[in-house]
Amino acid sequence: MEKLIRYAEKQGFQIYMGTKSVVEFRRTYPTNKPSAIEIREHKNKDHQLYDLLHELGHYMIRKDWKSYQEAYPLTTRAEFWHHTRGIYKYKRRIGYKIESLREEYEAWDVGLKLARKKRIDIDVQDYRKYANSMLANYVRFYGESLTR
C-alpha cells in the first residue's frame, strides 16, 4: 500500500482516510488534474488497497484528456457544463449515466493493470470479487435513475 501511496503522491494526489472511497480532481475543467483520494478507513487493508487502485484507475483513464473525450464524449460534455456554468441537467441524462458506468468498469480493470505494473501482490480473485460487489452498487445506483 505504501508503494502505491507514494506513486499517487508523485502524480499530485493527497491521500487521506475518510468515510468513502473517491478520487477528487481539481474543480476546474478539464476534470483530470489530481487533487486528492479519500479511502474508507473502516475497510480492511486489502479493500483499501483495491479502492486506491480503482481510484488511480480513474486518474489513468482521464490523464490523456483527448483520449478520454473520445471515449466518453457525453461525460466530458456534462462535466464541462457542470464545472464551467453550474448546469447539472446533462448529468441527469441516460447517456451520461451509462458512460459513468463504463468508466467505473474500466477503472477497476485499469487498477488491476496498475497493480501488475507496479508489482503489487494482490489476490486477483478477491480483487475481482470486491470489484464486482462495488460495480453492483453502481448498477443499482444508476439503474434506479434510469427507470424514472
pLDDT at res. 132: 97
Q: Is residue 19 part of a domain?
A: no
Q: Is residue 138 part of a domain?
A: yes
Query: What is the count of structural domains for the chain?
Result: 1
Question: Has residue 50 been placed in a domain?
Answer: yes
Distance from C-alpha of 7 to C-alpha of 13, rounded to nearest angstrom: 9
pLDDT of residue 145 exceeding 70: no
Domain that holds residue 73: 45-146
Residue 142 lies in a domain: yes
Within a domain: residue 80? yes
Asked if the structure places residue 89 within a domain, the reply is yes
User: What is the residue-averaged pLDDT of the chain?
Assistant: 87
pTM, full prediction: 0.87
Grid cell for residue 73: 464524449
Q: Does residue 101 fall inside a structural domain?
A: yes
Q: Average pLDDT, stretch 74-78?
A: 88
- Tens of pLDDT along 106-131? 999 999 999 999 999 999 999 999 99
Residue 148 has pLDDT above 80, yes or no: no
